[in-house]
Amino acid sequence: MSRLEVEHLYKIFGRRPETAVRWLEEGADRAELRDSGTTAAVIDATFDVREGEIFVVMGLSGSGKSTLLRTLNGLLEPTSGRVLFDGHDLTALGPRELRRVRSHGISMVFQHFALFPHRSVLENAAYGLEVQGVDRAERERRATEALELTGLAGWEKSWPDELSGGMQQRVGLARALATDADLLLMDESFSALDPLIRRDMQDQLLELQKRLKKTIVFITHDLNEAMRLGDRIAVMRDGRIVQIGTAEEILLRPANDYVASFVQDVDRSRVLTAGAVMEKCAGDADSSGRSVTMDTPIADLCALSADSDEPIAVRSDEGKLKGLIPQQTLLAALAGEVTHA
Amino acid sequence: MPRLPLGDWVDSGVTYLRDHCAWLFDLITTVVSGMYDGLDAVLRAPEPLLLAGIFAVLALWLRGLTAGILTFAGFALIDSVQQWTAAMDTLSLVLVATVITIVLAVPLGIWSARNRTVGAVLRPVLDFMQTMPAFVYLIPGIFFFGVGQVPGIIATIVFAMPPGVRMTELGIRQVDGELVEAAEAFGTSPRNTLLRVQLPLALPTIMAGINQVIMLALSMVVISGMVGGGGLGSSVFTAISQVNVGLGFEGGISVVILAMYLDRVTGSLGSRVSPLGRRALAAANSLRGARVWTYRPHTAVAMVGVVVLAVVAGGMNVFGPSSTGTAVAAGKNVGHGRTVNLGYIPWDEGTASTYLWKEILEQRGFAPKVTQYDVGALYTGMSTGKVDFETDAWLPTTQKSYWETYKSRLDDYGSWYDRTSLELTVPSYVKGIDSLADLKGKSKEFGGRIIGIEPGAGMMKMLNDTVLKKYGLDGEYQVTTGSTASMLAQLDRSIKAKQPVVVTLWSPHWAYSKYSLKKLKDPLGAWGQGDGVHSLARKGFASDEPQVAKWLKDFKLDEKQLTSLEAAIQDAGQNHEQDGVRAWLKTQPGLVDKLAPIAA
């Protein structure tokens, strides 16, 4: 079931945005508009985000992904199109109702953390609850819980500038979680962190997501991050969404040359799974041999494959044989030559 | 280029406003002067040293022991040089002007930070306010608000507002856009975004702006002393017009002490009220540990100290002796406490006659209020009814231009001292020059200069237009303009160095008793007949206070009386003019009854 649906969404900056939308619908392209002093940041975006999934929007800077994110909670008003949150059209709401949705239903995590420097860690985490009007004792209790979830127990009385970047972003995450909003918008939230910390944070987000089952829209320009986190990924280029799919789908069947060249540098062995590269076969082959599950990354198969010349069996969670991976197939997959599956 | 009559347009605009928006200006005047009077009464009420103690406790709370001690010493110094009352007047002016400025500037700053159009419109207006020389609107201010504290406060507000607006705008614009977005993303209303995020984070910058506002207000308030603003400005203004270097320094150092106190206190207040500043403060304290010199009492402790001192101060006022006034003899109470406003220019005969009338009116049961003005301000003040009368108008010659402008609104009660004279004067050691005619061909000796006074003085106009031409000196001598004070300073300097100098001077003047001088004869009568010193009153004063008007019309002093009165006032010293008058009256038995007879 989708929590969030976006239909034919446009966001145009500059003069006469409505005219620009008409031109775009008639097939004008972005460069022509730019000449007339109008910037089309998001063009005809349509997608839906399902309950409990991490939906990643991936694109280079200037591709319109941050603008798209800000139309999802009404920080920016779309020029045309609709944003449906739990079936309600956000674009039709007045400022007051929109603020209510933001404080209760959608929360946001920022690239540079955006912690309030004049508030303690606890007060920062409790900010959203304060806006909701929750009384002090209750909001401090819930903010403390949120801080515990993100691994910051004991830091409540500190100030944001006393924390490292990773810890600051944990406060940002705790602030977003404390409101109990179901939809989390994360705007390049880990981009400002150094690589090791970024990896930690990604792991922790996945860990939290297993427990909390939030619906998350995650913006990033880092394809590896997108592949790691995203249940589904939307690739954006020049304001348009060029492909939506799972990591494997994008890797294995790029929609165009742009996406293909983009995914070239991805560590395929961590994205592709045994299920995606196996030679399908049914039946009851040797059940005593080495076997892996469908979602095992192929990086984990290499060691097994090196031990013996026998193909590796791929089994479903119930132990049913689904396919085989001979050495050649594995090597071909690593070399980027997988086309079936 | 054709002459653009910009000045005329402004002139008629000002007249139009004065005639058609009087109710508005009256309202502003009432509000502002009400604020000033209230605050001034509070600040003047306690014993100076107790109030100095309160100020010291505030400094101790905000900055520590050193600041507390220095504050007390500074204010004690102000008291001991007898500038306390003036300093409290100035402090009231500054505080009232600052409060009004902040009330206007902070919302304007917020508005222009949120709306680019407003910001763009406001910027040139602020530039105009800040750079337009203050005198240009100080004098028209008198048309609208009358002389006294109000035009001074208004001019101060105009002058001090720009940094308040600019720093508020800057502070709010400086707040990280992502923080504002974060607040919005969590559903904060625009009002709460301003109150909870933007203002707290902009506060250090806004406080720096307020600090600037206070400093500018203080500098402007001193200037407003020239239009009857009172306070230290008047002390300084008096001192420079009498070339009294010592008094000038006493007034000046009091201004400096006030300025430093206000600057440091508001500077620290910034770090006390802003959440970020409080944090930095706490961190610094925990690092340094508790030491005596950096000890700062907690807010509660400091407030208790202030309250205790304030209660003691209040108690002393209740139980202490009430201030001693002039006793009103039985049967001579004509005034029944009615207020009469006297204005004067700080020239010796003006001070003497004004304080003489102040004493006489007090003895007759009036409540006279004496305020010091610049000449132009005094005439304007009378024409708008803010000043009831003055006793130092040099007519018909010297102040002719003022009289011509304002005569429809004034009454001339006749001269009480006859006859003054205007002249060029040289030190008596300058040999061979006894008359104006002797100056011809001697310009080398005097460096080609005649030391003049204020460019607007009637005497300067006569000198340039008539006197120099009649004696054929106009090509030969340059008349320097400056002020009476600078003329007297130059005279003093030349006499010390025994150099020849020729200055514009008039009689009566104390310079003739201080130095040995020679008035240059005027065989052609170019200076005219000389003036009488007249009493002028606003139109309508004679019907409001017929008795006082009658006394003034009959007022006469001879030269001996005037000079001895001036000497007595000189002996009594600055701020004790009335004591001098009382001492002098003791030597003139029956004079009060003669000058102010009670109708039987």
Q: What is the DSSP letter of A42?
A: E
pLDDT digits (tens, 9 = 90+) for A240-286: 999 999 988 888 888 888 888 888 877 787 778 888 788 877 666 55
pTM for the model stands at 0.72
Percent of chain A topping pLDDT 90: 31
Q: What is the DSSP string of B322-367?
A: PPP-PPPPTT---STT-EEEEEE-SSHHHHHHHHHHHHHHHHTT-E
Residue pLDDT, tens place only, A102-155: 989 999 999 998 999 889 899 999 999 999 989 999 999 999 999 998 888 888
Is A289 found in the same domain as A241?
A: no
Each residue's pLDDT tens digit, A216-248: 999 999 888 998 899 999 999 988 999 999 988
B392 and B483 co-located in one domain: no
Q: Do A222 and A321 belong to one domain?
A: no
pLDDT of A340 higher than 70? no
Cβ contact, residue pair A104, B201, below 8 Å: no
Q: Does B280 touch chain A (CB under 8 A)?
A: no
Residue B262 falls inside a structural domain: yes
Cα–Cα distance, B560 to B567 (Å, whole number): 11
**Closest residue on chain A to B178 (Cα):** A114
Check CB contact under 8 Å for A100 and B200: no
Say if residue B294's pLDDT is above 70: no
Give counts: helices (H), strands (E), chain A. 16, 14
Q: How far apart are the C-alpha atoms of A290 and A325, rounded to whole Å?
A: 11
Chosen domain end from A223, A251, A266: A266
Q: For testing the chain B interface, which of A69, A97, A116, A130 should be mutated: the one with the most B CBs within 10 Å?
A: A116
Count the domains in chain A. Answer: 2
Beta bridge partners of B395: B532
What pLDDT is stored for residue A286 in this prediction?
56
Which tens digit of pLDDT belongs to each residue from B206-221?
989 999 999 999 988 8
CB-closest option in B182, B274, B276 to A114: B182
pLDDT tier at B424, thresholds 50, 70, 90: very high
In a domain, B540, yes or no: yes
CATH number at residue A313: 3.10.580.10
CATH code for the domain in which residue A73 is found = 3.40.50.300
Per-residue buried b or exposed e for B561-582, using 16+ beta carbons within 10 Å of the residue's own CB: bbbebbbbbbebebbebbbbbb
- With respect to residue A11, please indicate whether it lies within any of the assigned structural domains: no
- Which of B487, B465, B455 minimizes the C-alpha distance to B375? B455
CB within 8 Å: A118 and B189: no
Q: What is the CATH number of the domain that holds B246?
A: 1.10.3720.10
Whether A79 and A224 map to the same domain: the answer is yes
Question: In this predicted complex, what is the ipTM?
Answer: 0.82
The model's pLDDT over B85-130, given as tens digits with 9 standing for 90+, comes to 889 999 999 999 999 999 999 999 999 998 889 989 999 999 988 8
Q: How many domains does chain B have?
A: 3
3-state SS class at B377: helix
What φ, ψ does residue A40 adopt, rounded to 5°? -95, 105
A–B interface: beta-carbon pairs under 8 A: 58
| Interface with chain A: mutation pick from B176, B179, B186, highest number of A CBs within 10 Å | B186
Q: Domain range holding B154?
A: 12-45+81-273
Q: Is the pLDDT of residue B320 over 80?
A: no
Strand partners, A66: none
Structure tokens at A307: 């031990």
Judge whether B72 lies within some domain: no
Name every chain A residue with its beta carbon within 8 A of the beta carbon of B276: 117-118
Nearest CB neighbour to B187, from listed A103, A110, A118: A103
Domain boundary residue, one of B245, B273, B301? B273
